[in-house]
Amino acid sequence: MCVMRMKENPLLVCADVKPSRPDFTVVGVFNCGGVRTEEGVTLVCRVAEMCSDRGDGVIRIPHVETGGTIGAMEFNRSDPRYDFTDPRAIVERDGRRVAALSSMSSLRRAFAPDGVHFVCDDTPLFPLDPRSEEWGAEDPRITRLEDGQYAMTYSSVSRNGVGVSLALSDDLVTWNRQGMILPPANKDTVIFPKKIDGTWWMLHRPILDGLGASDIWIASSSDLVHWGGHQHLAGCRTGQPWEMRKIGAGAHPMEVDAGWLVLYHGVDEKEHYRVGALLLDKQDPRSVLARTPQPIFQPEEPYERNGFFSNTVFPCAAWIEGDEVVTYYGGADSCVCGARLSLSDIMDSLVYGRRAL
């Protein structure tokens, strides 16, 4: 499997991103949606921020207050009521409820004419919604639709859970928000670039625990805003340790001769994130034709192995250029990276047939 990481990796790190306020610190720029246009590559990055450390043992996390102003939630690191061991969340020891995320993310546009040397906007793409995004917006995916519009899905996070919201744009600059298209707990939603059989389709990933697993589902829509026809599409495979715990779509499905190619992430028992591929039927994307038994891309470089959430490659943007799949991905929940994967290698790695799925 030929994976060519961009030699300029990581392409964006915290130091490249201006905090959205002078008293904030950027703690991650990662998990970006993206598209190539004639002018270059536009990414929309997840930028995670905390209030700057005052050295007083207090963790201060920005959040959106009712009315839209940004306030800070405070947690004393020595407070025995909270468990600070998960780098992504502060959890109540009593009851294991999430008291806060460890940072607040918002979405930031970055642009590079050459697809390598990105400059990140100094301000978020849009202000967050105090009701549904009190704790942030995360992990955008962008699809250029057949009608020329751009559709962006992203996670809206609040004390009420993580749901999936949609925004539409004609120019990748002005975004029209369309509300929450999937209620909590859901993530990792990607929209197909064109209608199939007269309808829009998307993949999504319910977050399940106990009854059901965090698998990939598919749904359909006539207007991109209202969704139904939900069906389970592909599950974790207990026989494949690298993806036995969770799987979720990475970038939007890419049309190839054999069907729809989907990069997806698989999560193992140690919460390491690798990448596999699915092939869906071109006429009926509810049918899985083939799947890669082994990861096609996995954390190897220092910027993928060590970071805010280590041992993670997390692609949210991908498209085909010639015989290559170009992907932009988050490295260790810390930085934005790029890679080129051989399309024919991916196609050769797919195993067809019911037993392979």
Nearer to a second copy, 72 or 98 (CB): 98
Comparing CA positions, the residue from 144, 235, 250 lying closest to residue 188 is 250
Tell me the C-alpha to C-alpha distance, in Å, between residue 172 and each of 42, 118, 168, 225, 293.
8, 15, 9, 18, 36
Comparing CA positions, the residue from 38, 44, 48 lying closest to residue 121 is 44
Q: Which of 182, 190, 277, 341 lies at the binding interface for a second copy (CB under 8 A)?
A: 182
CA dist 76 and 195 (Å) reads 50
Q: What is the 8-class DSSP label of residue 186? A: E
Interface with a second copy, residue 198, by CB under 8 A: no
Q: Which token pair is 71?
A: 């306030």
Three-state DSSP class for residue 2: coil
Q: Which token pair is 272?
A: 């390491």
Q: Taking CB under 8 A as the rule, which mask of x and - marks residues 128-157 in contact with a second copy?
A: ---xx------------------------x
Q: Which of 20, 103, 153, 158 lies at the binding interface for a second copy (CB under 8 A)?
A: 158
Q: Which of 22, 210, 239, 322 lies at the binding interface for a second copy (CB under 8 A)?
A: 210
Q: Which of 69, 78, 85, 231 lies at the binding interface for a second copy (CB under 8 A)?
A: 231
Q: Site size for a second copy, by CB under 8 A?
A: 47
Q: Which of 68, 230, 351, 352 lies at the binding interface for a second copy (CB under 8 A)?
A: 230
Q: Which of 76, 160, 176, 344 lies at the binding interface for a second copy (CB under 8 A)?
A: 160
| The one segment of 25-33, 42-50, 201-209, 251-259 that binds a second copy by CB under 8 A | 201-209
Nearer to a second copy, 40 or 235 (CB): 235
Beta bridge partners of residue 62, listed in sequence order: 72
Q: How open is the CA angle 342-235-156, to the nearest 5 degrees? A: 85
Interface with a second copy, residue 57, by CB under 8 A: no
CA dist 245 and 251 (Å) reads 20
Smallest separation, CB 50 to a second copy (Å): 18
Residue 10: asked if its preceding bond is cis (omega within 30°), the reply is yes
Q: Which of 57, 127, 229, 241 lies at the binding interface for a second copy (CB under 8 A)?
A: 229
Interface with a second copy, residue 65, by CB under 8 A: no
Interface with a second copy, residue 94, by CB under 8 A: no
Q: Check: CB of residue 180 under 8 Å from CB of residue 160.
A: no
| The one segment of 49-57, 190-198, 223-231, 301-309 that binds a second copy by CB under 8 A | 223-231
Interface with a second copy, residue 222, by CB under 8 A: yes
Q: Check: CB of residue 59 under 8 Å from CB of residue 69.
A: no
Q: Between residue 2 and residue 31, which ones bind a second copy under the rule CB under 8 A?
A: none
Nearer to a second copy, 41 or 234 (CB): 234
CA dist 110 and 172 (Å) reads 11
Q: Between residue 266 and residue 305, which ones bind a second copy under the rule CB under 8 A?
A: none
Give the total residue count for the chain: 357
| The one segment of 77-85, 230-238, 317-325, 338-346 that binds a second copy by CB under 8 A | 230-238
Interface with a second copy, residue 239, by CB under 8 A: no
Q: Check: CB of residue 255 under 8 Å from CB of residue 266.
A: no
Smallest separation, CB 169 to a second copy (Å): 18
Q: Check: CB of residue 23 under 8 Å from CB of residue 308.
A: no
Nearer to a second copy, 44 or 180 (CB): 180
Q: Which of 39, 117, 232, 348 lies at the binding interface for a second copy (CB under 8 A)?
A: 232
Comparing CA positions, the residue from 256, 274, 110, 275 lying closest to residue 193 is 256
Which element (helix H / strand E) includes 349?
helix 343-349
CA dist 173 and 327 (Å) reads 21
CA dist 81 and 213 (Å) reads 29
Q: What are the residues binding a second copy (CB under 8 A)?
A: 89, 91, 96-98, 131-132, 157-163, 178-186, 204, 206, 208-213, 215, 217, 219-223, 225-232, 235
